[in-house]
Amino acid sequence: ASTLGAAAAEKGRYFGAAVANNRLGESDYVNTLNREFNSITAENEMKWESLQRTRGNFTFTEADRIANHARSRGMSLRGHTLVWHSQLPGWVDNINNANELRTVMRTHIETVMGRYRGQVHSWDVVNEAFQDGSSGARRNSVFQRVLGNGYIEESFRMARAADPNAKLCYNDYNTDGRNAKSDAVYNLVRDLKQRGVPIDCVGFQSHFNPQSPVPNDYQANLQRFADLGVEVQITELDIEGSGTAQANDYRRVIQACLNVSRCTGITVWGVTDKYSWRSGGTPLLFDGNYNKKPAYDAVLATLGGS
């Protein structure tokens, strides 16, 4: 296979990219996306503030454009994200009554998942619920404040009811190796699985840079989650750097996924360095002119393509 998507497919995995609606008019962007990738995540367009900026008014124009692009090209779609403290409109943040918040969450989850039922294969139901650092504590958010620890379980139950066929994921960053934060997520997932709460997958964002490099125990960490009986997915991969060093880091990440049978797919967080969320950074597989970087060649070769 000569593209990322086709090579990954031969290994039983998808290979996706985060896509921004406002780049879909750029031909180099679209051509690269269409040629190389077989899964799409909306970079921002399926977040709460994008879909329901004011209460009860859903605007799907941009999200639909991305979903339609995926459908028309036979690409699969990852859903990102339903319950998250960030990019959350102020009207949600200001709710302080538990039942009102539950009603609002249910409406949002049902409406959004309902719209993309049958198309989104995996949803990030809850995103980034834990703090960084050594505490393993929950992150402060309106959901945590008003509903307590049970909000995660409640979110997954609402999501299962809204779309029984979608895979339901917990997604986070700095959980890529063993550390206090990933231990906290591990304990959460183990508890949810033991009690029959519907969770199917864990997303490892995998945003790496020199301060936060690919951990040595990356594969072992994926494996311990997989051993809980959930799928693992690499959901937002990017690695700051260039040249051979960057290529080698990418190779390790891809190989780790291939070595874990329940690792079902990889998404890089953007198509080109030109539009990376790390402004000025070069963390992706195509440079600003859509040329393949050494990291691209390493990924393709690791997937068995050429």
Active site residues: 236
Instruction: Please select the residue that binds ligand G3I; options are 44, 175, 182, 246, rule is CB under 6 A.
Output: 44
DSSP string, 193-216: HHTT----EEEE--EEBTTBPPPT
Beta carbon nearer to ligand G3I, 15 or 173: 173
Closest approach of ligand G3I to the CB of residue 206, in Å: 10
Instruction: Please select the residue that binds ligand G3I; options are 236, 240, 249, 273, rule is CB under 6 A.
Output: 236
Q: Is 87 in the site for ligand G3I (CB under 6 A)?
A: yes
* Two tokens, residue 260: 């874990």
Beta carbon nearer to ligand G3I, 185 or 300: 185
Task: Tell me which H or E stretch contains 55.
Answer: none
Instruction: Please select the residue that binds ligand G3I; options are 205, 233, 246, 264, rule is CB under 6 A.
Output: 205
Q: Mention every residue, 6+ apart, whose C-beta is less than 8 A from residue 246.
A: 239, 240, 282, 283, 293, 294, 295
Instruction: Please select the residue that binds ligand G3I; options are 54, 59, 86, 99, rule is CB under 6 A.
Output: 86
Instruction: Please select the residue that binds ligand G3I; options are 248, 277, 281, 297, rule is CB under 6 A.
Output: 277
Interface with ligand G3I: number of residues (CB under 6 A): 8
Closest to 51 in 3D by CA, of 4, 17, 84, 99: 84
Closest approach of ligand G3I to the CB of residue 172, in Å: 8
For residues 90 and 31, give the distance between their C-alpha atoms in angstroms, rounded to a whole number.
37
Beta carbon nearer to ligand G3I, 87 or 134: 87
Beta bridge partners of residue 42, listed in sequence order: 19
**Residue 265 Cα to chain centre, angstroms:** 10
For residues 19 and 1, give the distance between their C-alpha atoms in angstroms, rounded to a whole number.
23
Q: Is 273 in the site for ligand G3I (CB under 6 A)?
A: no
Beta carbon nearer to ligand G3I, 182 or 302: 182
Q: Is 43 in the site for ligand G3I (CB under 6 A)?
A: yes
Q: Which residue's CB comes closest to ligand G3I?
A: 277
Beta bridge partners of residue 39, listed in sequence order: 16, 76
Q: Which phi and psi (to 5°) does residue 126 adopt?
A: -125, 130
Q: Is 290 in the site for ligand G3I (CB under 6 A)?
A: no
Q: Which phi and psi (to 5°) does residue 268 adopt?
A: -95, 150
Closest approach of ligand G3I to the CB of residue 61, in Å: 13
Residues at the contact surface with ligand G3I, assessed by CB under 6 A? 43-44, 86-87, 173, 205, 236, 277
